Amino acid sequence: MDEFLITTQNSLMNIDNDPPSSRRLLIYSSRIEDGKKLEEVFSKTGTKVQTTNSVSDAKRILERNDFSMLVVAVADKDCDGMKLLEWTNDTILGIKKVGIAKNQCVELYNKVYKLGADHLFYFDSLVIDKLTLAIEELHKNGKRWFERKSGGFQGCSKRIIAECSSDATLLLAGPHGVGKSAIARLIHDNSPRRSEPFIVAECAHYMSAAETMDIFRGKELGIKHPLYRNQQGLLAQANRGTLFIHEVCHLPIHVQEVLATVIQRGVFTPQNLTKEVKFSGRIIFSTNVDLAEKVRAGEFSEALYHCIHSNVLRVPPLSDCLDDVIPLAECFIKQYCAENGLSVPRLTKGAINKLNNHIWVSNVRELYSTIVRACSEYRGDTIGKDDITLYETEKEVSHHSRRYRVTKALQHTKGNKAQAAKLLEINRTTLYAWMKAEGISKDYR
């Protein structure tokens, strides 16, 4: 094999700590000699390896056995290996997948990437051991997108790992854009339920209470709802899997109380049936508001609140995890360029400083949008300061956002007014005026 293009999809956190001997890897290659060579390489890591040159055999093996990784040789975008990757993506959930090609081909890589890949490596025949090390590193550490090492995120990381082995109802709490949906998916993909469906309920998209109830319990909708055409309700679809209810505060209270019953009794009644059905799935909720306050205001079900308030995972804003900004930005750059067949640029020192000095009011979502915008407009080998457009200017932030920005700037600079003003791109006189208007103490830090 002269040169390799490697793309992977895998479990999403640094939780795969099993010794190599306890892991199993399946290799598919239509060329027996290539499969044997890969088997020889990976066997040296102590991983248990099985090889096949038959797609039908590979499918049967995957259905009957528990493998932690699948390595597939792909020759072109319509080859049998590509079809096996596509089948595995749809059928065998929770398995790490690696595509290997001899030649660099943007069209081929894009096709593999759209099946869920997120890493790109190049190796020649002289450094085959580096291929092994790279795969082993991915196997151990998981998807680098979520390798967040800032002190502000460490507590959250530990809770995420713990929740992967839990079956308890969970509430993810945090402001807009911190990645609650991604964390819910991450927990599911690393849980014993990973081979079962992960169903998302986007509550902000729902309409009347009756139509919302139909969506959960099931019914042929009298409307052409763009998200839910299935007659089977979300509870039935997520049975034995995970139901992620995003921004639960948007649900009508009557529907919230039905969900409380599902959690308390473990049963639900599908539409048009009188017999209760056991619900064996896990429910993960998310919110960006204070639900206790909503309960006091009569705007949230007290019954559901008591079901979920005891197990809360709080996701910190990006402003509390500033050491994650550049690693996340670099990850988003690699992802965008891989998906669009572009060479990966580096961030200049000026760009890094600009990203580090920004107050990310909209959190990771804002950072992602900023990076995608920069990647779509840059020219050359670098992304510089002028390539990065930040839209959170003084005129565009609300009264609430201004207070948030000022307090975070003061926290970041440990109360140094000159540095905080520079961070906010205002003068100290304006900073003091803002602090007075927002009721922020001069000693705030």
CA torsion 323-152-365-345 (nearest 10°) is 20
Per-residue model confidence (pLDDT) at position 387: 92
Q: What is the DSSP string of 50-115?
A: EEES-HHHHHHHHHHS--SEEEEE--STTSHHHHHHHHHHHHSTT-EEEEEESS--HHHHHHHHTT
Per-residue model confidence (pLDDT) at position 388: 93
For the chain, domains (ranges, CATH) are 3-144 (3.40.50.2300), 151-314 (3.40.50.300), 318-392 (1.10.8.60), 395-438 (1.10.10)
Distance of alpha carbon 342 from alpha carbon 3, whole angstroms: 19
Distance of alpha carbon 164 from alpha carbon 12, whole angstroms: 11
Per-residue model confidence (pLDDT) at position 227: 41
CB distance 119 to 126 below 8 Å: no
Per-residue model confidence (pLDDT) at position 222: 45
Distance of alpha carbon 330 from alpha carbon 327, whole angstroms: 5
Per-residue model confidence (pLDDT) at position 6: 38
Per-residue model confidence (pLDDT) at position 201: 86
Positions of the chain with pLDDT lower than 50, given as ranges: 1-22, 116-146, 220-230, 393-397, 399-400
How many Cβ atoms sit within 10 Å of the Cβ of residue 118? 19
Per-residue model confidence (pLDDT) at position 106: 53
Among the listed residues 315, 329, 314, 316, the one whose alpha carbon sits nearest the alpha carbon of residue 408: 316
State the sign of the Cα–Cα–Cα–Cα dihedral 391, 394, 395, 397: positive
Per-residue model confidence (pLDDT) at position 224: 43
Q: Is the pTM of this model over 0.95?
A: no
